[in-house]
Amino acid sequence: MDREWGSKPGSGGAATAQNEAIDRRERLRRLALETIDLAKDPYFMRNHLGSYECKLCLTLHNNEGNYLAHTQGKRHQTNLAKRAAREAKDAPTQPQPHKRKVNMKKSGMKTFKPLILV
């Protein structure tokens, strides 16, 4: 018997929890890389050590998948909201273009209410 316990013949053996987790993370990383372009992310930076850095939150990440998970997290989202609020407050408001008023001439006819004398 060269099979692992609990595996079916020809299945390649039972996957351990660690192997399942690695496979799941890899699938999620590939899916995220398809949907999100890291080249366009202004806060994504690869440092000289080969790890990844979020310039907004000043956090270090070992791989791209970890960074992508961080971008969906609470800390990154709150920092994005704070930055957007600060930029909205600091940005000078643009004056609204002056709308030209168009004066409509009233017709010469006046309406009168009938006067009833009793």
Angle between helix axes 64-71 and 17-35 (nearest 10 degrees) is 70
Assess whether pLDDT exceeds 80 at residue 10.
no
Give me 42's structure tokens.
């202004």
Tell me: the pLDDT tens digits for 50-106? Answer: 999 999 999 999 988 889 889 889 999 999 999 999 999 887 766 667 777 766 666
Cα 91 from Cα 3, distance rounded (Å): 67
**65 C-beta neighbours (distance < 10 Å), count:** 19
Q: What is the residue-averaged pLDDT of the chain?
A: 81
pLDDT of 116 higher than 80? no
Does residue 22 carry a pLDDT above 80?
yes
Proportion of the chain in helix, strand, coil states, percent, rounded to 5: 40, 10, 55
Low-confidence winner among 24-33, 34-43, 106-115 (lowest mean pLDDT)? 106-115
44 touches 67 (CB < 8 A): yes
